[in-house]
A and B are shown apart, each in its own frame.
Chain A
Amino acid sequence: MSHRTFLWFILPSLVAMLVFIALPLVSVAIQSLHVEHEQVLVVTKNCGPFGCKEETSVDFEATQKLSENRPLGRFNGLGTYFDRGHLATEEVALAWTSRTSLGGFLSSLYNLPFYRAMAFTLTYTFLVTPMVIALGFLIALGVNRIPPALKGPTIFVSLLPMIVTPLIGSLILFWMIDAQGVIGKNLQWLFDDPALSLKASPWLTWLTLFIYGIWHSAPFAFVVFYAGLQTVNTDSLEAAQLDGANRWQQIRYVVIPHLMPLVVFIALIQLMDNFRVFEPIVGFSAEANATSLSYIIFSDLRGDVIRFNSASATSVLTVIGVAILLMPVLIRTWRDFKGKTV
């Protein structure tokens, strides 16, 4: 295909991506370097019978005019990045110098909103992803052994947690674990603790979010592994059987190596998707105990005063996080690609 034809074919799609994905990233970067205008102050001399007084007041009109003329605000450099709401360099330095123990340092770090969100996002990403892979694999092994007539309906039911809107899925579970809902009530009965509430403690909230994440994503891993199991070479399985391999050994030495490329694929997709965890926090109303990077951007944009600079700075930091996360994949693909051309 000639370069010209290629360009015409790809152009609409490319323009859409440039304008609505690449440019917004530039816009985010620019916004993060600015901060809203200071209020315009006017000093008026007020002279009364007891002498003159200088009064400072806010000139609302001028302030509004200024922000209308220059909606970006004033230039602030990297100020927003290092403030208390983001990297909080001063606070971190202070916490480090005045630390009594590593645990104390970490807990004072956890009190800063950005690090708090970071802690949850990373824990969620690196806990849910392997659990999803493990659970998906087990379900695939199980479903592979049931009678063929039952496979269709089983796959149908299995797809539901993944297909359903994340916000709706988390709401459905949230209502069930409510202290007055079916699971919440039964847990109270089980642990004999009528005050038990999964929303009350941070750790239980984290746990419910992790369980939701696994419930939501396990079907994806399951379907991919199930399809992979259909292509396992039966000859090598039989050969292993003849050599006296038991079931576990067959799985360990024949099936798992065969599925390894799929594990990489699922891990990649899951890392990307789990890193942007957002809807479950809204659905479970968990923001008091768990926030993610996406969530703090959302709440900056949602507040009474929209804090563009703060949201943008967090966005840039999140994008850097995504880049770091993807780095191994990109380097690997680059090596493969170079190997191919050489």
Chain B
Amino acid sequence: MAGQANKSTRMLMVISTTMVIIWIIIASFPFLWTLWGSFKVQGDFFSKADWRYALWGTRTMVETGGAFTGSGYEGAWIQEEFWRAALNTFVVVFFTVIISLTLGTLGGYALARSGQNYAFWLLMIALVFRAMPHITLVSGYLLPFFQWNLWGHLPTTIIVLVAINQPFTLWMLHSFFLNIPKDLDESAKVDGCTQFQAFRHVIIPVMWPGVITTGLFSFLLAYNDFAVTSMLLNEGNRTMVPAIAGFLGSTFEEGNVMFAVASVVSATAPLFILVMFFQRQIVSGLTAGAVKG
């Protein structure tokens, strides 16, 4: 009896371990493959003859003399000036995160401390706004932006991304502020602080873990956006994601698809580093909303 139970436990262990291993392969292999392939020529990465060419770099040897080549990266970053797109991404993401957090912290704090009916309704409206597909909003912006000459500028895009980010930021920071004991700012107010002073001197010093976590998600939203940046920016100042889409649209010819592969790897690298350093915060952020229901 005991032996049988042991056997079935071991059986279960084998099944669940196998499943985890398969999942790890499914989750990571595409990235490893693309990273490896980005140092090959197109004849290897998209091989007409044999997919194993990409492993050994058969065509890469013939064409460049070495098993690895940086020509994809060179083409993307220097020839096609991908660095401009990277710079634009940095500007857009940086300001979007800073402004989102500033507005969101104030709003989220107010929502967490108000307790009035309208605070509840604002959160509900924010939830509905959160569900709006971004592209439906973009179709609302486009005509007025054309008319008022606001189209194609980085600041416009930043403000739009901030606004689209707000519902989510408010929800998340609201639930973080609920976790900060009310007594903290209440006692400061008893000591004669105004609400803002209480916020400034008592809440700000203890709110950073929540703000950093929310900031990570604002970063991801701004960094990963395609709908807004591809529609609101022109070719001269577009960010990385629409630039990659542009590589595909205009230059699907020999060799140039490797520019897209190289720039895809380049754009993924910061995300890897982000997850590496902030894994704990990302996990806690994903679950924060769930715990609150």
Contact = CB atoms under 8 A, between A and B. Distances in A.
Contacts of B45: 175, 181
A303 interface: no
Contacts, number: 285
Contact of A16 (B46, B166, B245, B282): B166
Given A138-B19, A142-B19, A294-B133, A19 B163 contact: yes
Interface residue tally on B, bucketed by range: 35 or more
Interface of A: 1-3, 5-6, 8-10, 12-14, 16-17, 19-28, 31, 71-72, 138-139, 141-143, 145-146, 152, 154-161, 163-169, 171-173, 175-176, 178, 180-182, 185-186, 215, 219-220, 223-224, 227-228, 247, 261-262, 265-266, 269, 272, 275-276, 278-279, 282, 285, 293-294, 297-298, 300-302, 306, 308, 311-312, 314-315, 318-319, 322-323, 325-326, 329-330, 333, 337, 341
B260 A171 contact: yes
Nearest to B16: A142
B75 interface: no
B141 A24 contact: yes
8 closest cross-chain pairs (CB), A and B: A24-B140, A20-B163, A9-B110, A13-B107, A276-B133, A315-B136, A180-B46, A227-B287
B129 interface: yes
Nearest to A161: B27
| Best-buried of B37, B139, B261, B286 by chain A (most CB within 10 Å) | B139
A30 to B, nearest CB: 9
Nearest to B146: A71
Contact of B137 (A25, A182, A302): A25
B276 interface: yes
Contacts of A282: 226, 245
Interface of B: 8-9, 12-13, 16-17, 19-20, 23-24, 26-28, 30-31, 33-34, 37, 45-48, 50-51, 54, 102-104, 106-107, 109-111, 113-117, 119-120, 122, 124, 126-144, 146-147, 159-160, 162-164, 166-167, 170, 195-196, 199, 220, 223-224, 226-227, 231, 241, 244-245, 248, 260-261, 264, 267-268, 271-272, 274-276, 279, 282-283, 286-287, 289-291, 293
A148 B3 CA distance: 26
Given A155-B283, A168-B267, A16 B163 contact: yes
B142 A13 contact: no
B216 to A, nearest CB: 10
B227 A325 contact: no
A159 B51 contact: no
Given A16-B163, A20-B162, A154-B20, 7 more contacts: A9-B195, A17-B129, A20-B164, A25-B132, A160-B272, A175-B46, A326-B128
